[in-house]
Structure 1
């Protein structure tokens, strides 16, 4: 079970690095090549969205079927384990949301950059005419 969360955390870290790379200023030639490379990689990386959605469903199902430990019958160790599982679930929800939001952010940055390039080319053609 922990492997999927490690994979998701690595994906979030890579998406954050890509978003940072896209927002840093760079020469036009380098920026256009980076954007084109990332645009090619975005298509297979779309698989992270359903993966994160499945993980959210798994967290929801486990939350609905989790044994509650709120009465005085529970020992301190059981109460600590219950609270730890709640904190892990919250952390994992944030991780899933971050994966989806960062993917969307990188996708939109690439799309905006391509639109800017098209507008610059159209402006250049109009100036040449």
Structure 2
């Protein structure tokens, strides 16, 4: 189970790095190549959305079927273990949501950049006429 969260963590880190790379100012030729490369990688990377969705469903199911530890019947160690599992679940939900959100951000940045390129080409054609 920990391997899934490690994979998701690395994917989120990679998406954040790509988003930062796309938003940094750079020469036009470099930006063109970078956007085209990332656009090619976006479709195979779409697997992260259903993967994160499945992980969210898993967290929800485990939360619904988790033994509650409240009251006098719980020992201190059981209560600590219960709270630790709640914190882990909250962290993992944030990880899943950020994976989907960052994927969407990278997709939109690439799409906006391509739209700007096409508008610049149209403007160039009108100037030449």
Say whether the fold is shared (TM-score over 0.5): yes
User: CA–CA distance in 2 between the matches of 1:60 and 1:85?
Assistant: 13
Partner residue, 2:128:
128
Partner residue, 1:47:
47
Length-normalised TM-score, structure 1: 1.00
User: CA–CA distance in 1 between the matches of 2:53 and 2:27?
Assistant: 37
Shift of 1:71: 1.2
User: CA–CA distance in 1 between the matches of 2:110 and 2:51?
Assistant: 22
CA displacement, residues 9-55 of structure 1 (integer Å, 9 cap, x when unaligned): 00000000000000000000000000000000000000000000000
Partner residue, 2:91:
91
User: CA–CA distance in 2 between the matches of 1:16 and 1:86?
Assistant: 26
Partner residue, 1:102:
102
User: CA–CA distance in 2 between the matches of 1:5 and 1:16?
Assistant: 16
**Aligned with 1:46: secondary structure?**
helix
Length-normalised TM-score, structure 2: 1.00
Shift of 1:3: 0.2
User: CA–CA distance in 2 between the matches of 1:122 and 1:70?
Assistant: 66
Following superposition of structure 1 onto structure 2, how do residues 26-45 of structure 1 map, counting pairs within 5 Å? 26-45=26-45
User: CA–CA distance in 1 between the matches of 2:27 and 2:126?
Assistant: 24
**Aligned with 2:69: secondary structure?**
coil
Following superposition of structure 1 onto structure 2, how do residues 6-45 of structure 1 map, counting pairs within 5 Å? 6-45=6-45
Shift of 1:72: 1.0
User: CA–CA distance in 1 between the matches of 2:90 and 2:53?
Assistant: 15
- Could you list the runs of 5+ residues in structure 2 that have no partner in the other structure? none
